[in-house]
């Protein structure tokens, strides 16, 4: 669904009380799940306004109404708590719903386009990286008092790393594609760290790691930046907000933002963990949190980075062993290459472990 008619756009927008003419409609953003369009709309009263129209992927998300309930509750909370914080403002249909289901069974939603904003797939400057980190930290701060346990769990056990590890072991044992013999060193690498994978859950059960609202997709392109000042405007793509851990949100961003190469780089000599970028991201994230995190959470930020990187590595390898059925691939062994970059990053994090721990300890005041 890369493009569709202006008449179809106008039909959908009319359900949200928007009557007028669509001047243009184009594919928008770099997301791989939902189909997103930027609409330039001239209303019947003469106003020219831009809207973002999305077709939600019901093959990926089976609980779309629960997703929208999570988003509505979180954005309403932010709206009532802080007049300074911006957020995606989803429109409601005439009957009060944020979703409209057309005759083909497609789920649509509409929100106002935030003018003078831009996203970047990769930070172009250190300030971009800092601002993205700040935005996700501020997201934590804005929702500090929100009852995280009241959110729907959109993807059960999404970051249950030890459960991911058990799935990996099962894939190794079954070896349905006969690939295990090609990746013995990667299998051994993951197995040798098995004692680590349950750490964050243990900290949660012991009361050290609090349950918070987690975004669960903390890539830089999920932050809007002001076109002129390049300051963070707001966090977007809230489909996977769930109860979770602050250190996981931090860690997934570090996994992506501190690598010196693409996630599927085939030349591992180009793949490194950039400690300087880790320092920038840690400062931005904690500045955004503005004192919210406990000292114990802060000291677990490196564990969050290592955990999310290791988890992604084992997920890529699991999919490779099972025949590349989950992650989209464009070439043979792409999932294996993805796995190897993640394991290289884990190894380099371990080599920088004392520096990472010393870096975050500076923010505890101890």
Element (H, E) at 255: helix 246-257
Environment class of residue 99 by beta-carbon count within 10 Å: exposed (0-12), middle (13-18) or buried (19+)? middle
Q: What pLDDT does 44 receive?
A: 87
Average pLDDT, the chain: 92
Q: Which residue has the higher pLDDT, 347 or 85?
A: 347
29 pLDDT higher than 80: no
Beta bridge partners of 42: 21, 48
What percent of the chain lies above the pLDDT cut of 70? 97
Beta bridge partners of 158: none
The DSSP string of 212-245 is EEE-S---GGGEEEETTT--EEEE---TT-EEE-
162 pLDDT higher than 80: yes
Mean pLDDT of 142-150: 95
Mean pLDDT of 16-24: 90
Mean pLDDT of 31-48: 84
Number of Cβ atoms within 10 Å of the Cβ of 229: 11
Q: What pLDDT does 79 receive?
A: 86
308 pLDDT higher than 80: yes
Q: Give the dihedral sign, CA 6/10/11/12.
A: positive
Tell me which residue has tokens 């911006």.
86
Q: Which residue has the higher pLDDT, 25 or 251?
A: 251
Domain boundaries, the chain: 6-113, 126-361
- What number does CATH give the domain 6-113? 3.30.200.20
Among the ranges 12-16, 77-81, 283-287, which has the highest mean pLDDT value? 283-287
Mean pLDDT of 12-29: 88
Q: Which of 39-48, 131-140, 177-186, 354-363 has the lowest mean pLDDT?
A: 39-48
The superfamily CATH assigns to domain 126-361 is Aminoglycoside phosphotransferase (APH), C-terminal lobe (3.90.1200.10)
Do residues 42 and 20 touch, judged by C-beta distance below 8 A? yes
Among the ranges 44-53, 154-163, 239-248, 327-336, which has the highest mean pLDDT value? 239-248
275 pLDDT higher than 70: yes
Environment class of residue 327 by beta-carbon count within 10 Å: exposed (0-12), middle (13-18) or buried (19+)? middle
Q: What pLDDT does 1 receive?
A: 47
- Scanning 44-117, the segments in alpha helix (DSSP H) are 64-81
Q: What pLDDT does 30 receive?
A: 62
89 pLDDT higher than 90: no
pLDDT digits (tens, 9 = 90+) for 45-84: 888 999 999 999 887 788 999 999 999 999 989 888 866 6
Q: What pLDDT does 157 receive?
A: 86
């Amino acid at each position: 669904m890369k493009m569709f008619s202006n008449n179809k756009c106008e039909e959908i927008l009319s359900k949200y009380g928007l009557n007028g003419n669509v001047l243009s409609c184009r594919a928008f953003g770099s997301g791989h799940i939902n189909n997103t369009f930027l609409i330039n709309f001239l209303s019947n009263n003469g106003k020219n306004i831009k809207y973002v129209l999305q077709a939600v992927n019901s093959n990926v998300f089976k609980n779309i109404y629960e997703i929208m309930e999570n988003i509505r509750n979180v954005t309403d909370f932010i709206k009532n708590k802080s007049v300074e914080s911006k957020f995606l403002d989803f429109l409601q249909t005439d009957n009060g719903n944020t979703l409209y289901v057309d005759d083909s069974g497609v789920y649509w939603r509409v929100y106002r386009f935030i003018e003078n904003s831009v996203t970047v797939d990769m930070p172009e400057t250190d300030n971009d990286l800092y601002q993205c980190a700040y935005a996700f930290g501020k997201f934590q701060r804005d929702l500090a008092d929100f009852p995280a346990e009241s959110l729907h769990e959109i993807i059960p056990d999404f970051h249950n790393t030890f459960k991911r590890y058990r799935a990996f072991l099962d894939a190794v044992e079954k070896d349905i594609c006969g690939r295990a013999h090609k990746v013995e060193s990667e299998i051994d690498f993951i197995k040798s760290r098995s004692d680590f994978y349950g750490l964050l859950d243990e900290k949660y059960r012991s009361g050290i790691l609090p349950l918070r609202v987690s975004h669960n997709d903390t890539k830089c392109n999920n932050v809007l930046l002001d076109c002129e000042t390049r300051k963070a405007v707001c966090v977007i793509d809230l489909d996977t907000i769930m109860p979770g851990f602050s250190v996981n949100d931090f860690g997934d961003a570090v996994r992506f933002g501190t690598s010196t190469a693409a996630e599927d780089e085939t030349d591992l000599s180009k793949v490194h963990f950039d400690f300087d970028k880790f320092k920038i991201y840690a400062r931005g994230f904690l500045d955004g949190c503005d004192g919210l995190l406990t000292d114990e959470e802060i000291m677990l930020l490196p564990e969050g980075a290592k955990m999310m990187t290791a988890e992604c590595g084992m997920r890529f390898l699991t999919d490779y062993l099972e025949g590349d059925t989950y992650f989209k691939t464009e070439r043979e062994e792409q999932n294996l290459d993805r796995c190897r970059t993640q394991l290289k990053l884990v190894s380099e994090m371990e080599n920088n472990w004392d520096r990472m721990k010393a870096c975050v300890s500076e923010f505890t005041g101890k």
